[in-house]
């Protein structure tokens, strides 16, 4: 049909029927948009009718114009009604297919899939135990000055302990000073005593580095350093704190402990502590039996160390200790090879790791 044939009441009625039918038949918003363009778009059939008005005589134009306007209005109304209908249908369809089935099992999420590394867990356990004894946590950097790591701790340049530590040194600076990857957590003692006034009661857990690698040694491992400084601190306090710590960490009521005389440059006297254990089959029973395992070094802080941080040894004394965290984790959770700790093997982590919400507390149980 040519648009120009359109006359009031004649072909216009046919056009309207045709358009309304097409609108009703449009099954989705795309199809509906096509109908709209065919009718009302720039070159749409109704738009062309409107344009043809300009060529008509005034009388004719008035009547025809009214009719076409009526047609345009009805077609527009039909288009928007159909659009509302299709929108609603689409929403209903989405709601029907996107339903959540609350009877399905919970999907494994990060909280169930992820694991806390045993070393992190044991660190949290240690923090929890010492918090209960009134210790706070102190920190220091992994990259230390040679002075804090050695000299201030009464380990001068020519001291053999420097060799024993297999130190990773950085290049010498212009002023001759050297930095190191800290070989133990003891430099945090120095930092703490320089920053805070006694009485002091801190632990410092962290990473330490030594060039050493076999089944029980890795180039990076973990220690916790402890330090207590006051005016009347003595070895009895040291012994009690360590006994409480060992009972709590191994979750036993009685721990067999042995304090062996030893030597560290930063303590005098110095001791190493062994705990008794026995093997029952493959299981290691801590705190009983006649075998001994070394777990920490300790002693009374050397007067030279106190002098190095401007504390008067005639007024202040204290004790310090250093515990290998990985060692404790191996013992406590029966993990025989230290290297596996750092292999990033997800199967190992799944087996030995802890759930993120299993936060150790003294009241709730440290390991559960």
What is the total count of residues that contact ligand DAH (CB under 6 A)? 12
Q: How far is the CB of 200 from ligand DAH (least distance, A)?
A: 13
- Helix 235-250 vs helix 325-333: crossing angle, to nearest 10: 40
| Residue entry with tokens 């249908």 | 89
**How many Å apart are CA 164 and CA 159, to the nearest integer?**
10
Q: Site for ligand DAH (CB under 6 A): which residue of 116, 122, 298, 331?
A: 298
267 is a site residue for ligand DAH (CB under 6 A): yes
What is the pattern of x (binds ligand DAH, CB under 6 A) and - over residues 77-116? ----------------------------------------
Rg of the chain, C-alpha, whole Å: 41
Query: Of 249, 242, 222, 248, nearest to 117 (Cα)?
Result: 222
On whether the CB atoms of residues 146 and 114 are closer than 8 A, the answer is: no
206 is a site residue for ligand DAH (CB under 6 A): no
265 is a site residue for ligand DAH (CB under 6 A): no
| Residue entry with tokens 């120009």 | 4
Q: How far is the CB of 268 from ligand DAH (least distance, A)?
A: 10
Alpha helices in 57-180 (DSSP H): 58-97, 110-113, 118-132, 146-149, 161-164
Q: Where are the beta strands (DSSP E) in the chain?
A: 136-137, 143-145, 179-181, 200-209, 220-230, 257-264, 267-280, 283-286, 291-301, 317-324
**How many Å apart are CA 103 and CA 94, to the nearest integer?**
20
**Of residues 82 and 210, the one with the C-beta less far from ligand DAH:** 210
Using the contact rule CB under 6 A, the part of the chain among 77-85, 96-104, 248-256, 314-322 near ligand DAH is 314-322
318 is a site residue for ligand DAH (CB under 6 A): no
Pairing of strands 179-181, 143-145: antiparallel
**How many Å apart are CA 295 and CA 273, to the nearest integer?**
6
**Of residues 51 and 260, the one with the C-beta less far from ligand DAH:** 260
What tokens appear for 261 in the block?
């005389």
Using the contact rule CB under 6 A, the part of the chain among 5-13, 282-290, 295-303, 309-317 near ligand DAH is 295-303
**Of residues 116 and 298, the one with the C-beta less far from ligand DAH:** 298
**Of residues 18 and 268, the one with the C-beta less far from ligand DAH:** 268
**Of residues 115 and 201, the one with the C-beta less far from ligand DAH:** 201
**How many Å apart are CA 280 and CA 289, to the nearest integer?**
10
Using the contact rule CB under 6 A, the part of the chain among 39-47, 193-201, 286-294, 296-304 near ligand DAH is 296-304
**Of residues 298 and 349, the one with the C-beta less far from ligand DAH:** 298
Q: Site for ligand DAH (CB under 6 A): which residue of 187, 265, 287, 322?
A: 322
Q: Site for ligand DAH (CB under 6 A): which residue of 264, 277, 352, 354?
A: 264
Q: How far apart are the first and last CA of the chain?
A: 85
Give residues 166-205 in contact with ligand DAH (rule: CB under 6 A). 184, 186
**Of residues 250 and 264, the one with the C-beta less far from ligand DAH:** 264
Residues that bind ligand DAH (CB under 6 A): 184, 186, 223, 225, 264, 267, 297-299, 320-322
């Amino acid at each position: 049909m040519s648009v120009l044939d359109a006359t009031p009441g004649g072909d216009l009625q046919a056009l309207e029927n045709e358009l309304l039918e097409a609108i009703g038949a449009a099954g989705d918003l795309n199809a509906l948009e096509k109908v709209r363009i065919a009718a009302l778009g720039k070159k749409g059939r109704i738009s062309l009718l409107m344009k043809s008005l300009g060529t008509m005589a005034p009388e004719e134009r008035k009547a025809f114009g009214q009719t076409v306007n009526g047609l345009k209005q009805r077609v527009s109304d039909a288009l928007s009604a159909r659009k509302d209908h299709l929108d609603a249908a689409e929403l209903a369809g989405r709601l029907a297919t996107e339903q959540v089935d609350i009877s399905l099992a919970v999907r494994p999420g990060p909280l169930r899939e992820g694991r806390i590394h045993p070393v992190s867990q044991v660190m949290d356990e240690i923090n929890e135990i010492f918090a209960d004894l009134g210790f706070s946590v102190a920190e220091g950097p992994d990259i230390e000055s040679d002075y804090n790591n050695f000299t201030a701790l009464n380990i001068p340049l020519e001291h053999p302990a420097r060799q024993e530590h297999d130190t990773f040194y950085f290049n010498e600076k212009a002023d001759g000073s050297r930095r190191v990857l800290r070989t133990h957590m003891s430099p945090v003692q120095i930092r703490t005593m320089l920053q805070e006034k006694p009485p002091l009661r801190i632990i410092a857990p962290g990473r330490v580095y030594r060039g050493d690698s076999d089944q029980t040694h890795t180039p990076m491992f973990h220690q916790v350093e402890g330090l207590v400084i006051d005016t009347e601190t003595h070895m009895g306090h040291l012994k009690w704190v360590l006994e409480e710590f060992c009972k709590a960490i191994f979750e036993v009521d009685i721990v067999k402990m042995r304090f062996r005389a030893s030597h560290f440059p930063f303590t005098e006297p110095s001791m190493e502590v062994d705990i008794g254990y026995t093997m029952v089959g493959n299981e290691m029973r801590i705190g009983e039996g006649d075998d001994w395992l070394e777990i920490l070094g300790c002693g009374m802080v050397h007067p030279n160390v106190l002098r190095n941080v401007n504390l008067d040894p005639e007024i202040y004394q204290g004790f310090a200790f250093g515990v290998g965290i990985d060692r404790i984790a191996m013992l406590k959770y029966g993990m025989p090879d230290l290297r596996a700790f750092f292999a990033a093997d997800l199967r190992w982590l799944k087996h030995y790791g802890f759930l993120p919400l299993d936060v150790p507390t003294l009241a709730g149980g440290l390991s559960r």
